[in-house]
Amino acid sequence: MRTVIFDLDGTLADTSGDLLAAANVCFRGLGHGDVLTTATDRGTAVRGARAMLTEGFERLGQPFAQSDIDEQFPILLEAYGNDIATHTTIYPGAREAVSRLRDAGYKVGICTNKPEVLAEQLMAALDFRDVFHSLVGADTLTVRKPDPLPFVEAVTRAGGDPARAVLVGDTQTDRDTSTNAGAPSILVTFGPGNFDVSSLKPEALLDHFDDLDGIVARLIA
């Protein structure tokens, strides 16, 4: 069965606003106020909690250690879980594209480096979970992207065939995951990072979800 697996943050939805707000809860708790902003740090947000904390501590210009990151990490996750979908928006055409793929007989799933419980919570809050056949998060298995196993697991749980699957993502991690899995990748050009994803040489670029059907059909005919 042909299968399309999607990354979540920066691919299906712009989650940067809520992620940055959660990171700023940490910095406010340390007495620094809001350190990160959506104007400058959206690309950092989709790289994950530790990337945001590292960027924030570096911006403060004060010495910090890995232990400081480790201490704030669970605080950030708790804050994010308490306010997960205030600023998050699904990218234009994403809902419709996923529905069209299902109607055309494709299996669809999610493979994200967001913790599984938070990914499930977010997708439910966005009323966008039930359309997907599978969801694999950062802690579903003992490894995470760019290891290929989470991608293969997402395909398998969806009822698909890893040999006839494609990964839609937005970062180097997604590109490396597809390469490691021996699968084609489609990278979106509208993610929050200021990075030219074409330099990663994916099998295809996606400028708008309206174009996804044709690209997928070409890659996994």
Per-position pLDDT tens, the chain of length 221: 999 999 999 999 999 999 999 999 999 999 999 999 999 999 899 888 999 999 999 999 989 999 999 999 999 999 999 999 999 999 999 999 999 999 999 999 999 999 999 999 999 999 999 999 999 999 999 999 999 999 999 999 999 999 999 999 999 999 999 999 999 999 999 988 777 899 999 999 999 999 999 999 999 97
The model's pTM is 0.95
Angle at the Cα of 190 from the Cα atoms of 177 and 19, rounded to 5 degrees? 75
> What is the structure's pLDDT at 95?
98
What are 202's two structure tokens?
A: 């994916």
Whether the CB-CB separation of 197 and 167 falls below 8 Å is answered with no
What are 172's two structure tokens?
A: 């180097």
Whether the CB-CB separation of 110 and 132 falls below 8 Å is answered with yes
Rounded Cα distance between 85 and 125, Å, is: 7
As beta bridge partners, residue 193 has: none
> What is the structure's pLDDT at 114?
94
CB atoms within 10 A of CB 181: 24
CB atoms within 10 A of CB 44: 21
CB atoms within 10 A of CB 193: 17
By C-alpha distance, which of 64, 98, 119, 90 is closest to 10?
90
Rounded Cα distance between 144 and 138, Å, is: 5
Distances (CA, A) of 151 to 2, 3, 53, 97, 99: 14, 11, 27, 20, 20
> What is the structure's pLDDT at 197?
92
Q: Say if residue 146 is preceded by a cis peptide, omega within 30 of 0.
A: yes
Rounded Cα distance between 4 and 186, Å, is: 10
Distances (CA, A) of 64 to 23, 50, 60, 84: 16, 13, 10, 27
> What is the structure's pLDDT at 89?
96
Q: Which residues are catalytic?
A: 7
